[in-house]
Amino acid sequence: MRTLSEIVERGLRSGVFRQGIDAVDLHFAITSFSFFRLSNQFTFQWLFQSNPAAPENRERLRKLLSDMVIGYAMTSPDSMPARTTD
């Protein structure tokens, strides 16, 4: 939590994160999505014929979570630094 709290503080100070962001809430959102994906994989498979934990869905759902977290935290998508690929 300390690392996430430091990231949130830096984002708030720099104006990249919107006011009102809380590290605990952000952690809750990230872990909830991650846990739900695994804990409900069989239910989703039965209901929707789609397993959110299947390898072929990982990248799409990772991007979905990233977009949701960025949308929640950022003042605007334009304030996000450019991503680098390694």
DSSP 58-72: HHHHHHHHHHHHHHH
Quick: pLDDT tens for 7-20: 999 999 999 999 99
Number of structural domains, the chain?
1
The answer to whether position 83 is within a domain reads: no
Question: Is residue 82, in this structure, part of any structural domain at all?
Answer: no
pLDDT tens for 34-56 read 899 889 999 999 999 999 999 99
Distances, alpha carbon 40 to alpha carbons 6, 36, 75, in Å: 32, 6, 32
The CATH code of the domain that includes 34 is: 1.10.357.10
What pTM does this model have? Answer: 0.70
73: number of Cβ within 10 Å:
20
Q: How confident is the model at residue 31 (pLDDT cuts 50, 70, 90)?
A: very high
The model's confidence at residue 4, banded by pLDDT at 50, 70 and 90, is very high
Domain span at 49: 2-76
